[in-house]
Structure 1
Amino acid sequence: MSHRPAVHLALAVDDLGAARAFYGGVLGLAEGRSTDHWIDWDLRGHQLVTHLAVGGPAAEAMSAVDGHAVPIPHFGLLLTDGEFGEFADRLRAAGTAFLIEPYLRFPGEPGEQWTMFFRDPAGNALEFKAFRDESKVFAS
């Protein structure tokens, strides 16, 4: 059987209606299959599933990166430079409260990247970023 590599992510949410409005409306993800206790989302070909769970996501830790407190766990996507700016504008227009406002991290270093952090309505942390040079994603 031939298939392309893809990631499957599952998140706990406490309100599927709020998840549908956020992931489908604000983030613009296409909705896949769903039931009364979960929704599949197309995260650029990767499967993201929001599962209804009493209490929402588990507690998290923080990690210091470039002078910011980064929430752990978190997930997101790598975007292009142009997509990053458009996406940040879309989030601002939707009234998204950023944990870390969009900014350029590690300027002039091999890992130079635009990054931003925010939460979904259930409190799950998301990071979206764009490398100035995509060949440097894993550069040290």
Structure 2
Amino acid sequence: MTRPGFHLAIPVDDLPKARSFYGGVLGLAEGRSADKWVDWNFYGHQVVTHVVPGAHGDSGNNPVDGHDVPVPHFGLILPIPEFHAVADRLKAAGTEFVIEPYLRFAGEPGEQWTMFFRDPAGNALEFKAFKDETQVFAK
């Protein structure tokens, strides 16, 4: 039996830029590909970048902890040291953050580091890291 995981297909308008970002900046391993799509190993899950011409990005925003969170978005929950390592890679690559890395809900249930950024096609990603991983769904 295989481990459960997710599969997500996202639109991009430039496959070389997607390869540079997902493979280069984020350091994801590339899987199968064709002229119009690439599979990525997104920390054990499958994200596929499909070429779809035109604009991509937000449908809107929702206020969370004093910030406008872009919707839709997808991302990962990482251990805290890995979260900061990815944040450093993004900063070194000159990535513009939608929401800079910061500690959200400090001292409350679900305390977490979070950051939001976009890929070259405008897709929003959120990476986060919980102080206590048992609190991912805490109320």
| TM norm structure 1 | 0.97
Where does structure 1 lack aligned partners over 5 or more consecutive residues? none
For the 8 Å contact 2:10–2:49, the answer to whether it is kept is: yes
Per the alignment, residue 72 of structure 1 pairs with 71
Where does structure 2 lack aligned partners over 5 or more consecutive residues? none
Per the alignment, residue 22 of structure 1 pairs with 21
Higher deviation after alignment, 43-52 or 55-64 = 55-64
Corresponding letter in the other structure for 2:2: H
- Give the whole-Å Cα distance in 2 for the aligned partners of 1:98 and 1:58: 14
Encode CA deviations 1:96-124: one digit per residue, 9 max, x unaligned: 10000000000000110000000000000
Per the alignment, in what secondary structure is the counterpart of residue 81 of structure 2?
Answer: helix
- Give the whole-Å Cα distance in 1 for the aligned partners of 2:21 and 2:105: 30
Per the alignment, residue 6 of structure 2 pairs with 7
Deviation at 1:57, TM superposition (A): 2.4
Corresponding letter in the other structure for 1:50: T
Encode CA deviations 1:24-74: one digit per residue, 9 max, x unaligned: 000000000000000000001100000000114254110000000000000
Per the alignment, residue 103 of structure 2 pairs with 104
* Identity of matched residues, %: 68
Deviation at 1:87, TM superposition (A): 1.0
Matched pairs, number: 139
For the 8 Å contact 1:105–1:113, the answer to whether it is kept is: yes
1:1-140 map, 5 Å? 2-57=1-56, 59-140=58-139
For the 8 Å contact 1:11–1:57, the answer to whether it is kept is: no
Change (3 A) 1:59 1:128: closer
Deviation at 1:11, TM superposition (A): 0.3
Higher deviation after alignment, 34-43 or 51-60 = 51-60
Deviant stretches of 4+, over 3 Å: none
Structure having the higher strand fraction is 2
| TM norm structure 2 | 0.97
- Give the whole-Å Cα distance in 2 for the aligned partners of 1:117 and 1:132: 18
